[in-house]
Amino acid sequence: MDQATFTIVFLGVLFALLASGLWIGLALLGVAFVAMAAFTTRPIGDAMVTTIWGASSSWTLTALPLFIWMGEILFRTRLSEDMFRGLAPWMVRVPGRLLHTNVVGCAIFAAISGSSAATCATIGKMTLPELQRRGYPREMSIGSLAGSGTLGLLIPPSIIMIVYGITADQSIGQLFTAGILPGIMLACLFSGYIVIWSLLNPDKVPAATERYALREKIYMSRHLIPVVMLILAVLGSIYAGIATATEAAAVGVVGAFLLSAAQGSLTWETFTTSLLGATRLSCMIFLILAGAAFLTLAMGFTGLPRQVAQWIHGLGLAPWMLIAALTIFYIVLGCFLDGISMIVLTMAVVLPTVEGAGIDLIWFGIFVTIVVEMAQVTPPVGFNLFVLQGMTGKSIIYVGRVTFPFFLLMVVAVVMVYLFPQIVTYLPSRMI
């Protein structure tokens, strides 16, 4: 079988399996099996077992289920309610007022969650009913929440960053640190848009009915102390070089349990449901990673990644053109696949090309995280859209439409981190 024929067969089998509704991890294993059968005489079973074991036995991978479990525990606490009470007094005089609680609340919860969908659901279950009760426009409430929920992927700890770090063999601690400033920048872009929108549409924002003295604002901020302490414990230990990402994840789990116990929400039921929820999601991700590892081996035998990289290199694309092309590619891919699948499916082909173009892989990891964020709000397979569809009863098309301005702001963020790469690289370069 020549290379062109194989490429057609390879893509045909892949998309056929994905379209059939088969689990993504099993689809990747199936495609890898076909590739191994076509291009090597090596025993397929032996190669699959060896590769999957090697990919699954990484100590770094331990951080993944721990961060997921931490998010599951916090999802079942009163954290979002406390955050709203602590943030609301500071927002009432800002143009857009309580709409900013979506952005700031998601940014804070993102720093202890790692999941976009969990961030969106946790903050949304508190802010959406409150914003509706106070008369804030429905489309802006939903759109700002869907957009801000994506900060769960960019502001560390991030499940996507862990998957990318394992796939690209990069430091997860450096990736976490690199995501801090871009995450703050994107949150500022979201809040800036809300300010501009509210100034242009003053009649759509309810008038401030409450006034708080500075002493009252500071007193209400006491509700933010537990979450700030947890953030400092998790991210501070990584940034200071005291703990690895895996050790910091363990600290986060212990901190989440202590926070849950202090709030009185730690029961046997919440313990078991959080553990089962984390187990299900972790197993799904591990299966995808196992399939991706075997597929990467199989593609190495085919020579397809090398040939694609050589073909793209032969086009003589400038780095900005390559980044623009990859942005469009991932946006389109995000219409059909979830973020984790996008990364594990493409890294074997994309990384040699990116390295050949001289692009820093830590910077590229943050770039990929931002474009995966876009996939969270692109129909028909946008996880944040699904979450908000279930919470609001609105259609996917409606939620996608009101979220579109925030999608465009993510495009602006990609342009900014390309023009000013120090936004990404400054903090990692300062790590101890």
Tell me the domain boundaries of the chain: 3-429
What percentage of the chain reaches a pLDDT higher than 70? 90
Q: Is the pLDDT of residue 215 over 70?
A: yes
Q: Which region, left, alpha or beta, applies to residue 338 given φ > 0 means left and ψ of -120 to 50 means alpha?
A: beta
For the chain, what is the mean pLDDT?
81
pTM of the entire predicted model: 0.77
CB of 326 within 8 A of CB of 366?
no
d(CA 207, CA 343): 45
Looking at per-residue pLDDT, the higher value among 350 and 38 belongs to: 350
In this prediction, residue 89 has a pLDDT band, given cuts at 50, 70 and 90, of confident
Looking at per-residue pLDDT, the higher value among 26 and 308 belongs to: 26
The widest CA-to-CA distance across the chain, in whole angstroms, is 76
Q: Is the pLDDT of residue 172 over 80?
A: yes
Q: Is the pLDDT of residue 4 over 70?
A: no
d(CA 306, CA 326): 17
pLDDT value of position 205: 82
d(CA 29, CA 24): 9
pLDDT value of position 368: 92
In terms of average pLDDT, the best of 254-263, 279-288, 338-347, 372-381 is: 254-263
In sequence order, which ranges of 240-379 are alpha helices (DSSP H)? 245-263, 268-302, 304-314, 319-334, 339-356, 361-375
In this prediction, residue 376 has a pLDDT band, given cuts at 50, 70 and 90, of confident
pLDDT value of position 222: 85
What interhelical angle do 268-302 and 3-19 show, nearest 10? 160
Q: Please list, residue by residue across 282-292, b when 16 or more beta carbons sit within 10 angstroms of its beta carbon and e when fewer do.
A: beebbbbbbbb
d(CA 134, CA 339): 35
d(CA 74, CA 403): 26
pLDDT value of position 422: 94
What percentage of the chain reaches a pLDDT higher than 90? 15
- The residue written with tokens 């859209």 in the block is 385
Which residues are within 8 A (CB) of 229 and not within 5 positions of it... i.e. 6 or more apart? 255
